Structure 1
Amino acid sequence: MATAATTRSAGDRLLAVGIVALEFAAAVSTFVASTLLPVVTEELDARDRLGLLVAGGTLGLFVALPLAGTALRRLGAGRTLALGTVVYAGGLVFAATAQQAWVFAAGQFTAGLAGGLLAVFGISAAIRRLDERLRLKVVAASSAMWILPAMAGPAATLALEHAVGWRWTLLVPVPVVLAGRLLVVRAVSGSAGSSSIADDERLRPAGLLVPVGAAAMVLADGVWLGAAAGAACAVAGTVALLPAGTARLRRGGPAALAAMTLFAAGYVGADSLITVLLTDGYGVTLAHAAIVLGAAPFAWGLTSLVVARVAPERQVPAAGLALTAAAVGLLAAGSGTPAFGTLGFETLGFGGALVAWAVAGAGVGLGYPGLYLRSTAATGTGTGTEAAELAAAVITAEAIGGLPGRAGGGALASIDGGLPAAYGAFAVVLGLAALAATRSRAAGPRRPAG
Structure 2
Amino acid sequence: MTVLPRGTLLLAVGIVALEFAAAVTGFVASTLLPVVARDLAAGDRLGLLIAGSTLGLFVALPLASRVLGRLGTRGTLAAGMLAYVGGLAVAATAQGAWTFAVGQLCTGLASGLLAVFGMSSAIRHLDERLRLRVIAASSAMWIGPALVGPAATLGLDHLVGWRWTLLVPVPFVLFGRLLVVRAVRDDPPADAATRPLGRTLLVPLGAAGVVLSAGWCPLALAGAVVAAAGLVAILPAGTARLRPGTPAALAAMVLFAVGYFGADSLITVLLTTGYGAGLGRAAIVLSAAPLAWAVTSLFARRFPATGLSLAALGTAVLATGAPFAVVLAAWTAAGIGVGLAYPGLYVRATTAGPGGLTAIELATAVITAECVGQLLGRAIGGTLSSAGGLFASYVVFAVALAAAAAVSRR
Select which of 341, 346, 354 maps to 2:328.
354
SS in 2 for 1:222: coil
Counterpart residue number, 1:258: 251
Counterpart residue number, 1:331: 318
Contact conserved, 1:331 with 1:423, CA < 8 A, in 2? yes
Is it true that 1:430 corresponds to 2:401 in the alignment?
Answer: yes
Contact conserved, 1:377 with 1:387, CA < 8 A, in 2? no
Contact conserved, 2:52 with 2:108, CA < 8 A, in 1? yes
Q: CA deviation at 1:294?
A: 0.5
SS in 2 for 1:325: helix
Q: CA deviation at 1:82?
A: 1.3
SS in 1 for 2:45: helix
Select which of 206, 209, 212 maps to 2:199.
206
Structure 1 residues 431 and 148: CA distance shift in structure 2, 3 A: same
SS in 1 for 2:94: coil
Q: Which amino acid aligns with 2:281?
A: H
Q: CA deviation at 1:43?
A: 0.4
Contact conserved, 1:299 with 1:362, CA < 8 A, in 2? yes
Counterpart residue number, 2:295: 302
Structure 1 residues 392 and 73: CA distance shift in structure 2, 3 A: closer
Higher mean C-alpha displacement, 107-116 vs 50-59: 107-116
Structure 1 residues 59 and 193: CA distance shift in structure 2, 3 A: farther
Q: Map Cα deviations across residues 123-143 of structure 1 (whole Å, 9 max, x no partner).
A: 244432222222221111111
Structure 1 residues 18 and 135: CA distance shift in structure 2, 3 A: same
Select which of 372, 393, 396 maps to 2:346.
372
Counterpart residue number, 1:289: 282
Measure, in 1, the Cα distance between the counterparts of 2:120 and 2:45: 31
Contact conserved, 2:132 with 2:343, CA < 8 A, in 1? no
Q: Which amino acid aligns with 2:235?
A: L
Measure, in 2, the Cα distance between the counterparts of 1:273 and 1:387: 34
Q: Which amino acid aligns with 1:279?
A: T
Q: CA deviation at 1:388?
A: 7.7
Counterpart residue number, 1:318: 305
Measure, in 1, the Cα distance between the counterparts of 2:336 and 2:243: 27
Q: CA deviation at 1:387?
A: 7.2
SS in 1 for 2:319: helix
Measure, in 2, the Cα distance between the counterparts of 1:303 and 1:293: 17
Q: Map Cα deviations across residues 204-228 of structure 1 (whole Å, 9 max, x no partner).
A: 2311011001100001111111101
Measure, in 2, the Cα distance between the counterparts of 1:437 and 1:100: 41
Contact conserved, 1:150 with 1:298, CA < 8 A, in 2? yes
Q: Map Cα deviations across residues 11-49 of structure 1 (whole Å, 9 max, x no partner).
A: 111100001111111111000000000000000010100
Select which of 159, 164, 175 maps to 1:163.
159
Measure, in 2, the Cα distance between the counterparts of 1:356 and 1:388: 37
Contact conserved, 1:121 with 1:181, CA < 8 A, in 2? no
Is it true that 1:419 corresponds to 2:390 in the alignment?
Answer: yes
Counterpart residue number, 2:373: 401
Contact conserved, 1:128 with 1:391, CA < 8 A, in 2? no
Measure, in 1, the Cα distance between the counterparts of 2:115 and 2:341: 27
Give the fraction of aligned pairs with identical amino acids, expressed as a percent: 64
Counterpart residue number, 2:186: 190
Is it true that 1:236 corresponds to 2:202 in the alignment?
Answer: no
Structure number, greater radius of gyration: 1
5+ residue gaps, structure 2: none
- TM-score, normalized by length of structure 2? 0.95
5+ residue gaps, structure 1: 1-5, 309-314, 335-347, 440-450
Is it true that 1:43 corresponds to 2:14 in the alignment?
Answer: no
Measure, in 1, the Cα distance between the counterparts of 2:73 and 2:344: 36
Measure, in 2, the Cα distance between the counterparts of 1:82 and 1:54: 26
Is it true that 1:18 corresponds to 2:14 in the alignment?
Answer: yes
Contact conserved, 2:116 with 2:367, CA < 8 A, in 1? no
Q: Which amino acid aligns with 2:10?
A: L
Contact conserved, 1:160 with 1:169, CA < 8 A, in 2? yes
Q: Cα RMSD between the aligned structures?
A: 1.9
Q: CA deviation at 1:376?
A: 3.1
Q: CA deviation at 1:194?
A: 4.8
SS in 1 for 2:95: coil
Q: Which amino acid aligns with 1:411?
A: T
Q: Map Cα deviations across residues 367-397 of structure 1 (whole Å, 9 max, x no partner).
A: 1122223323444x465x7578545532321
Measure, in 2, the Cα distance between the counterparts of 1:187 and 1:171: 26
